Copies of this chain bind each other. A is one copy, B any other.
Amino acid sequence: MSFFPAPLDNLIDCFARLPGVGRKSAQRLAFYVLRLPKEEAEAFANAILEAKNSVRYCNICQNLTDGEICQICASPKRDGATVCVVADPKDVAAIERSREYNGHYHVLHGVISPMNHIGPDDIKIKELLSRVNKGGISEIIMATNPDTEGEATAMYVSRLLKPLGVKVTRLAYGIPVGSNLEYADDATLFRALEGRREM
């Protein structure tokens, strides 16, 4: 049973459905929204509608955009011959933050995961193949996460790409910069030794 008016309960329910937000937090958030000035509450509601209605996938790389083509694909300064394949738009943001990469991207929107009933046709693999088939791409960098599903997806996609005559690479494995050898796990240390380079 609830002791709040119905519209407030409804708002608490909405917040409680968000990932990582429990009942108590949802209540705190709903009360915060109630205390907001009217314009700010309306701006919040509009931000939800606006994001939901205007954000779509880029026609080329499937990254999120509010136009037809994302800023990266549209930029004449970026090198379209290299394509970095990631699982999620957040990974694009992470790689962009490093300021090291000047090529294009391809966002798969997921990884192959039989456990979760996600097969190759459920993520944007065929869009990647048709990009490569159109030509002009010389290297594909597989940058899915270094976990089981990310590895399997990278392996699967690279096997489809190699017959098309494109160079397929994978992000380097190794010890993270600024970390401590003592706490590195065995698999990472093994890969770091295996991939050692001359200084």
Cα separation A7 to B4 with both chains bound (whole Å): 32
Cα separation A113 to B122 with both chains bound (whole Å): 57
Cα separation A41 to B47 with both chains bound (whole Å): 11
Cα separation A36 to B83 with both chains bound (whole Å): 29
For A66, what are the chain B residues with a Cβ–Cβ distance below 8 Å?
Answer: 5-8
A48 in the interface (beta carbon within 8 A): yes
Contact of A55 among B5, B45, B46, B52 (CB under 8 A): B5
Contact of A7 among B7, B42, B50, B70 (CB under 8 A): B50
Q: A101: shortest Cβ distance to chain B, in Å?
A: 12
A54 in the interface (beta carbon within 8 A): yes
Q: A29-B19, A31-B90 are in contact. Are A8 and B44 (CB under 8 A)?
A: no
Q: A63: shortest Cβ distance to chain B, in Å?
A: 9
B33 and A52 contacting across the interface, CB-CB below 8 Å: yes
A79 in the interface (beta carbon within 8 A): no
Cα separation A113 to B125 with both chains bound (whole Å): 60
Contact size range, A: 35 or more
Closest to A29 in B: B18
Q: Which residues A56-97 have CB closer than 8 A to chain B?
A: 64-67, 70, 89-90, 92-93, 96-97
A52 and B64 contacting across the interface, CB-CB below 8 Å: no
Q: A41: shortest Cβ distance to chain B, in Å?
A: 4
A27 in the interface (beta carbon within 8 A): yes
Q: A11-B47, A47-B14 are in contact. Are A64 and B4 (CB under 8 A)?
A: yes
For A30, what are the chain B residues with a Cβ–Cβ distance below 8 Å?
Answer: 51
Q: A49: shortest Cβ distance to chain B, in Å?
A: 5
Q: A3-B97, A5-B55, A29-B19 are in contact. Are A11 and B65 (CB under 8 A)?
A: no
Cα separation A3 to B44 with both chains bound (whole Å): 21
A197 in the interface (beta carbon within 8 A): no
Q: A14-B44, A51-B8, A66-B7 are in contact. Are A25 and B20 (CB under 8 A)?
A: yes
